[in-house]
């Protein structure tokens, strides 16, 4: 049986109230999590940016983009972990087309 591996892109926004060290720890945590279940293709830390609209009375956040490949069931687990991580303001995981 052929093992299905898909390519994904995830962007998450970290609360602006975190220190630079805390932001780096969160990024490393998610890089390790994704690496344990798939293969990271690229990580792009965009840094602190203005949000398109206020979220929880905040106008800025740290943006991080990660491109990775994994089995189809992993993105749902990744979204669940984003949801229970207090420092994550917003997140999205998108399957990339061919």
CATH number of the domain within which 10 lies: 3.30.70.60
Containing structural domain, residue 32 = 6-95
Identify whether 1 is part of a domain: no
Q: What is the mean pLDDT of residues 43-71?
A: 94
**Total number of domains in the chain:** 1
Say what the pLDDT of residue 3 is: 83
C-beta of residue 5 within 8 angstroms of C-beta of residue 90 = no
Say what the pLDDT of residue 97 is: 80
For residue 18, give the 3-state DSSP assignment: coil
pLDDT confidence tier of residue 64, bands split at 50, 70 and 90: very high
Say what the pLDDT of residue 86 is: 94
Q: How many CA atoms lie within 13 A of 70 on its CB side?
A: 25
Say what the pLDDT of residue 56 is: 86
């Amino acid at each position: 049986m052929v093992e299905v591996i898909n390519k994904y892109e995830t962007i998450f926004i970290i609360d602006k109230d975190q220190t630079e060290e805390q932001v780096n720890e969160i990024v490393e945590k998610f890089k390790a999590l994704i690496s344990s279940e798939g293969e990271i293709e690229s990580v792009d830390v965009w840094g602190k940016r203005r949000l398109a609209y206020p979220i929880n009375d905040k106008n800025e956040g740290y943006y991080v983009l990660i491109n990775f490949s994994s089995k189809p069931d992993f993105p749902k687990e990744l979204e669940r972990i984003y949801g229970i991580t207090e420092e994550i303001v917003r997140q999205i995981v998108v399957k990339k087309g061919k």
